[in-house]
Amino acid sequence: MSDYKDTIIDHYKNPRNFGTLDDADVSMDESNASCGDMIRIQVKFSGWIPGQARNDKNEPGLPRHSVPRNDEKVIMEMKWQGVGCAISTASASMLSEKVVGMSKDDLEKFGEAGIVDLLGGEINPGRMKCATLAYRALLKIFDSND
Amino acid sequence: MFDVEEIRKDFPILKRKIHGHDLVFLDSGATSQKPESVIKAMDDFYRNTNANIHRGVYELSVESTRLVDEARGKVAEFIGARNEEIIFTRNASESLNLVMYSWGKDNVKVGDAVLVSKLEHHSNLVPWQELCRETGAELRIIDVDAEGKLKISGAEEQSFEESGLNVKLGSFDKLVDEKVKLFAVTGASNVLGTLPDVTGMIKTIKSKSPEVTVLVDASQMVPHMKVDVKTLGADFVAFSGHKMMGPTGTGVLWGKKEILSKMRPFLFGGDMIGEVKITGSTWADLPSRFEAGTPDIAGIIGLGEAVDYLEKLGMDDVRQHEKELIKYALEKMSVLEKEGLVVIYGPRDVEDRGGALAFNVVGVHPHDAAQILDNFGIAVRSGQHCAAPLVTGFGVPAMVRATFYVYNTKAEIDYLIEKIREVPKVFA
């Protein structure tokens, strides 16, 4: 079973960072319409200026600069939930460990090729949508909440 | 009855090896394999006859035109229709959209209702959602029971409203009244194999509401059983050519001449016009009015050849063969079900169903199951099968589906069963 390496089975059976983040900065849902797979990813960004109140909505009276610029955001923590196949589950689980410390730039550089590498270097082209489900959600997360 | 082993020799692809195993092709519900005669007819056309139709007086164009006309005649005879009632399209989806644009927009308005079923393929659901949203008409959906059969009577009615679309879900008897202008229903479910009593429902609805127009999505019907539009009672029948051994890029819309001839075209351009002036144009007669532009000439010729192939087998025997296969498959799968290895969806009585078998391997996502089966050379589909409301209604995100056709054997089903047992072991 070339696509089902031991690491994939391990992450599938014991998914890492599965759950919810109470103080998430962004939550993002992503699905594969044709196969019914769904994922919700929550992340906490670093890049906040320590000791200052957060002001995501730019409310008057609070300092605006407490919201980090998009290119400064770095993922501090990621949690995820969802239903999916072994490939999408393992990919989300592996990414949840890999993306800590990554900026949008880092994630884009890591790319789909990086995911294929994480999964053992070989993914059936028909399963790339499964493999990249969590990745696509993460890219959207960086683009939201600007 | 035909000899399956002989038939298999007609399909070159069945000689292929997949990951070192013999190909076991169980996805004919998505598209069927093509016999040598169909492939050869198209090859011959390009080598010896290729020219555009209808526009030339030279020999090749005359021959091309004749071949397309002959193919139209074969398809018409195959379903008991008149030649001019056969519109060639790219696929069943295009046929259904043609009805929506050319008939629906002129005949469905606010206060009316369109009736469909929960068994529909997205291609016979989404166009009507859009039409109802645009016109303010109500979309009514016949619900299915736990076996995946249509609820004919007695079900509680539910109403939904979202972004301007009003939907009612319930049983057939409660949803039928004089407001229903269109009844668009599948003749056979592409997921569960369910064969609704289409003829019976059409009789009921036409007696209650004589003005109703009936459209049957026969994509999973025409390739698998005898369909005669004269006895079916429908006004439109849509199906694809590529699911009945024809090439991809071919589909058919049949419509009653008196209805088609009142409809406006929905694609404009070459070949579909009568007279063209700079100030306006008139439309060609049937069927050209609905066939704008150069059609898939080679494909249509291939489809005609596919009809010949099916006629030679005999549609009653085709149905009988598939009935035996699905009966056998259900028996074998029931054993796995009793062992707690699989869950089977759809009707259990072979009289109520066609050759589609939907299931899940317990604890294994359908994509994983399908990929593991592929490693053994078995081609099955996994996902929502373009019928998301139906599939998710069973409380699962997706299903595995095996579909059978004339070239499938009981030995292939044995092999499928044997390999389904291997699937959970990968994750053990």
Kindly write down the DSSP assignment for every residue of A31-88, as one continuous string.
EETTTTEEEEEEEEEE-PPTTS---TT--TTS-GGGSPPGGG-EEEEEEEEEE--HHH
Interface contact A8, partner B, CB < 8 A: no
B273-295 pLDDT per residue, tens: 899 999 999 999 999 999 999 99
- Please check whether residues B270 and B332 belong to one and the same domain: no
Cross-chain Cβ contact B367/A3 below 8 Å = no
B127-175 pLDDT per residue, tens: 999 999 999 999 999 999 999 999 999 889 999 999 999 999 999 999 9
Cross-chain Cβ contact B427/A12 below 8 Å = yes
What pLDDT score does A2 carry? Answer: 61
What pLDDT score does B298 carry? Answer: 98
B297 located within any domain: yes
- Please check whether residues B252 and B381 belong to one and the same domain: no
Of B368, B384, B427, the CB nearest to A36: B384
The answer on pLDDT for B302 being more than 80 is yes
- Please check whether residues B21 and B74 belong to one and the same domain: no
Of A1, A34, A86, the CB nearest to B365: A86
Q: Which residues of B touch A123 (CB under 8 A)?
A: none
B426 located within any domain: no
- Please check whether residues B287 and B411 belong to one and the same domain: no
What pLDDT score does A47 carry? Answer: 62
B37 located within any domain: no
Interface contact A36, partner B, CB < 8 A: yes
- Please check whether residues B273 and B237 belong to one and the same domain: yes
Bridge partners of residue B409, in order along the sequence = none
Of B312, B337, B363, which marks where a domain is finished? Answer: B312
B103 located within any domain: yes
Q: Which residues of B touch A84 (CB under 8 A)?
A: 365
Cross-chain Cβ contact B427/A9 below 8 Å = yes
Alpha carbons within 13 A on the beta-carbon side of A63: 11
Interface contact A109, partner B, CB < 8 A: no
Cβ–Cβ under 8 Å, residues B322 and B354: yes
| Residue A17 C-alpha, separation from nearest chain B C-alpha, in angstroms | 20
Give the residue on A whose Cα is nearest the Cα of B386.
A34
Cβ–Cβ under 8 Å, residues A68 and A45: yes
- Please check whether residues B253 and B399 belong to one and the same domain: no
- Please check whether residues B59 and B200 belong to one and the same domain: yes
**What CATH number has the domain bearing residue B137?**
3.40.640.10
Q: What is d(CA B41, CA B302) in angstroms, rounded to the nearest whole number?
A: 6
Q: Which residues of A touch B367 (CB under 8 A)?
A: 35, 37, 85, 87, 127, 130
Residue type, B74: K
What pLDDT score does A56 carry? Answer: 53
What pLDDT score does A64 carry? Answer: 45
Cβ–Cβ under 8 Å, residues B420 and B336: yes
**What CATH number has the domain bearing residue B340?**
3.90.1150.10
Cross-chain Cβ contact A38/B397 below 8 Å = yes
Give the residue on B whose Cα is nearest the Cα of A126.
B371
The answer on pLDDT for B189 being more than 90 is yes
From the candidates B108, B184, B386, B416, give the one annotated as an active-site residue. B386
Confidence of residue B386 (pLDDT cuts 50, 70, 90): very high
Q: How many domains does chain B have?
A: 2
**Residue ranges, chain A, pLDDT below 50:** 1, 49-53, 62-66, 146
Mutation target vs A (from B365, B384, B396; most A CBs, 10 A cutoff) = B365
All structural domains of chain A, each given as residue ranges with its CATH number in brackets, are 6-143 (3.90.1010.10)
Cross-chain Cβ contact A36/B382 below 8 Å = no
- Please check whether residues B208 and B276 belong to one and the same domain: yes
- Please check whether residues B303 and B328 belong to one and the same domain: no
Interface contact A13, partner B, CB < 8 A: yes
Interface of B with A (CB under 8 A): 365-368, 371-372, 375, 382-384, 386, 388, 391-392, 396-398, 426-427
Percent of chain B topping pLDDT 90: 96
Question: For residue B16, what are the domain limits?
Answer: 4-30+314-421
Of A2, A34, A85, the CB nearest to B384: A34
Give the residue on A whose Cα is nearest the Cα of B385.
A34
Q: Which tokens belong to A112?
A: 């789909």
| Residue A56 C-alpha, separation from nearest chain B C-alpha, in angstroms | 30
What pLDDT score does A146 carry? Answer: 45
- Please check whether residues B171 and B109 belong to one and the same domain: yes
ipTM of the complex: 0.79
Of A1, A35, A130, the CB nearest to B372: A1
Cross-chain Cβ contact A35/B368 below 8 Å = no
B347 located within any domain: yes
- Please check whether residues B132 and B102 belong to one and the same domain: yes
- Please check whether residues B297 and B332 belong to one and the same domain: no
Interface contact A37, partner B, CB < 8 A: yes
Q: Which tokens belong to B366?
A: 């359908």
Of B312, B328, B352, which marks where a domain is finished? Answer: B312
Mean pLDDT of chain B: 96
| Residue B382 C-alpha, separation from nearest chain A C-alpha, in angstroms | 7
B35 phi/psi in degrees, rounded to 5: -75, 160
Confidence of residue B94 (pLDDT cuts 50, 70, 90): very high
B428 located within any domain: no
Mutation target vs A (from B371, B372, B385, B386; most A CBs, 10 A cutoff) = B371
Q: Which tokens belong to A91?
A: 């990919």
Cross-chain Cβ contact B397/A36 below 8 Å = yes
What pLDDT score does A60 carry? Answer: 58
What pLDDT score does A61 carry? Answer: 55
Of B292, B312, B332, which marks where a domain is finished? Answer: B312
Percent of chain B topping pLDDT 70: 100
Of A2, A9, A36, the CB nearest to B392: A36
B254-272 pLDDT per residue, tens: 999 999 999 999 999 988 9
User: Going by C-beta distance under 8 Å and a sequence separation of 6 or more, which residues neighbour residue B128?
Assistant: B100, B104, B114, B116, B139, B182, B184
Between positions 46 and 75 of A, the ones with CB within 8 A of B are none
For A59-97, letters b (16+ CB in 10 Å) and e give: eeeeeeeebbeeeebbbebbbbbbebbbbbbbbbbbbbe
Residue from B373, B28, B17 nearest A126 by CA:
B373
Tell me, yes or no, if B386 is annotated catalytic: yes
Interface contact A14, partner B, CB < 8 A: no
